[in-house]
Structures are given as structure tokens and as C-alpha cells.
Copies of this chain bind each other. A is one copy, B any other.
Amino acid sequence: MVIGGDAAGMSAASQARRLKGSDELEIVAFERGHFTSYSACGIPYWVGGDVGERDELIARTPEEHRARDIDLRMRTEVTEIDVAGGRVRARDIDSGAESWTSYDKLVIATGARPIRPDLPGADAPGVHGVQTLDDGQALIDSLTRTRGRRAVVVGAGYIGVEMAEALINRGYEVTVVNRGSEPMSTLDPDMGRLVHEAMEGMGITMVDNAQVTKVHTGEDGRVRAVATEDAEYPADVVVLGIGVRPETALAKAAGLPLGAHGGLLTDLSMRVRGHENIWAGGDCVEVLDLVSGQERHFALGTHANKHGQVIGSNVGGGYATFPGVVGTAVSKVCDLEIARTGLREKDARRVGLQYETVTIESTSRAGYYPKASLMTVKMLAERRTGRLLGVQIVGREGAAKRVDIAAVALTARMTVEQMTALDLGYAPPFSPVWDPVLVAARKAARAVVQGF
């Protein structure tokens, strides 16, 4: 039995079905929404016009799942998990009818919910989240109906900056209001500053250190402006992109173990700790950060798919584990690419790691090759041991996916000195003779090691 019909839940169902046919394994899945297996990460590109149709974001429809003998119950919300009894109570949202269903093995994939600020006016027409396909459709409809061209984005994390791009692409004047000292708080502030400057350069008004206090509405009840303690920003449309929290109300009520970030705690096979027959994956769980050694919460489709795969293997009688993450994320705002993996300075300090940092500038291609673009790479290495702790990259074309080099190196617990010898692909159209990541590693090795 699967609760939640998106990436983690349906990947688990599909993989279990791959390993065991319908004669061996019955699969029931509950989804409270209208859609299954869709790419929430694609919503900004749909809103911005890069993706034409909502349905392009749907990887697999309910019908496709049912064709593989998965008993998928749409618009059905699970309202209670009875762990001792091995059953869940579910409610048909349209009819209101409730019933109990028993399970032998349960997969919890309830995802995350967006943080909605407790603000006066936050529910006014014209104020939108972008968590679900329905949210995306509502925003697109709102943008189509509204004549005004002023948009305010609240929050400057991944969703915030991607929505800023989407709104720029639709011809809006965009203001991004952000509580932090710089946008992209998943970067160190010095790297976030580069994002701030680049976004200003795109004509986006960046307001940092600003707490939104109120959403003002007009006489028609529709949003009119966003107020902070210091100022007021006129807005014909407002997008909230403040982040998400694990959706674990059900799990909490059932007495399942939650971590410090509110996510379910699992073991390496993605089984809920202390529960033989319950698995959990996706945005509702905490994952082990392999660099810091502590659990963290990362809401990312790519993790959810992997969790589902692992759960499906184990539930289906195979064997797989999810060892953890290193905290990789990439994003872009128009032609600006942003990437990070591993620990920021404050993460390293928080877990007691001492470190050196270096920052270098290099190019995406050989300097003499056309369209070589500048990128800035910041690298953290542990003091004395030289172990790689984190990398952040801000640049243009070719910047973001270079972080994968560091992601693999972090997984392998390499030192920055070891990284200087990495045999990376080199040809003038693809890299300088020293890849930017190697330039950073070399400088970091010199910061840690004498005589290197």
C-alpha cells in the first residue's frame, strides 16, 4: 500500500511491480490530488512558457499506472494510519465516504507542503504558491486575466529565483523580496551576492533583508501590494516561494519517528526506523547528509525517485539501499547558472568542522574558444586533512553541471589534493586545460598543504 501518488510513491510501486507480478503482489496507491508522477520542478518553466502544456510535466498518468496493475485510487486522502492494526483510513474527497484498508507493507510518500506565511492578505486572489500542477494552472490563469505587469516574488531560494525568471519571460517587472542578506541562502553569502548582482543586471529588483508583513488588497479584494517593515511594493500578482516542510502530520499522529526537521526517519533500506513493514521516501523523509553525518531535509524530485526505486526493490523482494546525499542542487535564472554541493561555511561550523575556503574565477571553455564564459567556484576543504567539504559555483553556460564532479568526489570522501589529479574531460570547446573545479582544488590544496 502506497500513500502518495507522486515521484517516490509511484516509483516504489513501479519498481515493486517490475520485480513481482500481480499474481504475487497486490499494489494499492492513494493520491488525494488529480495527478500522478508529475514534475513539480518543471512548473516554473511551464509558467514561463518554456514548456507549452501542463501534461508535458506528467511522466505517467493514473491510466498508465493502472495498466501495470496498480490499484490507484485518485482523489482519495488517507486520514489515519493505524500502525498496530496494519490498516489505513481513507476518504474519497468527492463523496466524503471513508473506509479502512489493510496493508501488509506500507509505503509513506506524502511529500512536502509549502510554507505559507501567516500574513494578513496572503489568501487574497492574485497570491499564488507553485507547489502543485493545480497551483501552476491557477497562477497561469491569474497572469492571463491580470492586466498589470508588476510581480512580486516572496522568497529567493530555488523556487523564488526560478519564478523570477518565469515572470521576466512573461514580460513582468519583477521584484524579489527576500528575508536573507542575499538571495539563494543555500549558498554562502559571498556567492549569493553574485546571484544578487546578476539578477539586478537582468532588471530584477532585489530586496534583501526584508520581512514581508502584509499583503495589501484593492477594492476588488485582489492583491495590490506587498508590504515589508520598511516599504511597500506594488504587485498585480504575488508568488510565494518560501520553501517547504515535510508533510508528516499523518505519520506524526501514528507515532512514527520524526527527526529534527520534521521528516520521517528511515534506515538505509528506507524503512521507517523501528517499523518492520513501513517504508518512507521522498520529500516527507529526512536523509543522511554524508558530509556532515547528520540528517537533513532536501525536497528534491531526484531524491524522491531514488527513494522510490530503493523502496520498490525491497518491497518487491529485491535489495537496495539509499546511502544518503551530499546536498547537490542546481538552478538557473535566465542565463545565470547556480550550483552547490556539500557544506556551506555555516554548515561546517555547526557540525564542528574546521575548514579553509578558496574562491577562483575561470572559464567554461578554453579562454580562446568562442563563448567561453566566466564562472566563480568556491571550495571548502577540511583543515589539515584536506577533505573536500563543499563547492559552490555561479556562472553562465557550463557552470552548473560541473558541480557533479564535486558531488562524486564528496561521496568518495576525496581530499582536494586527490582532486587535483582527477582525469576530467578536456578539449578546448569543453574546458580550459585545467577545469575550473581543478583550479579551485589546486588552490584549496595549497591552502591546506605545505609545498604543494
Contacts and interface: CB of A to CB of B under 8 A. Distances in A.
A428 B369 contact: no
A331 to B, nearest CB: 5
A422 B407 contact: yes
* Residue of A50, A326, A368, A434 with highest tally of chain B CB at under 10 A: A368
A322 interface: yes
A58 B66 CA distance: 62
Nearest to A370: B50
A339 B429 CA distance: 13
A56 interface: yes
* Residue of A318, A322, A411, A425 with highest tally of chain B CB at under 10 A: A425
A262 interface: no
A430 B7 CA distance: 19
Contacts of A423: 302-303, 325-328, 341, 407, 411
23 contacts: A19-B451, A41-B366, A42-B366, A42-B428, A51-B369, A162-B427, A302-B423, A305-B433, A309-B420, A318-B451, A322-B421, A323-B418, A323-B421, A327-B423, A331-B427, A398-B401, A400-B425, A405-B408, A407-B424, A408-B409, A409-B412, A411-B418, A412-B414
Interface of A: 7, 19, 39, 41-42, 45, 50-51, 56-57, 158, 162, 300-303, 305-306, 309, 313, 316-332, 337, 339, 341, 366, 368-370, 398, 400-405, 407-409, 411-412, 414, 417-418, 420-431, 433-435, 442, 450-452
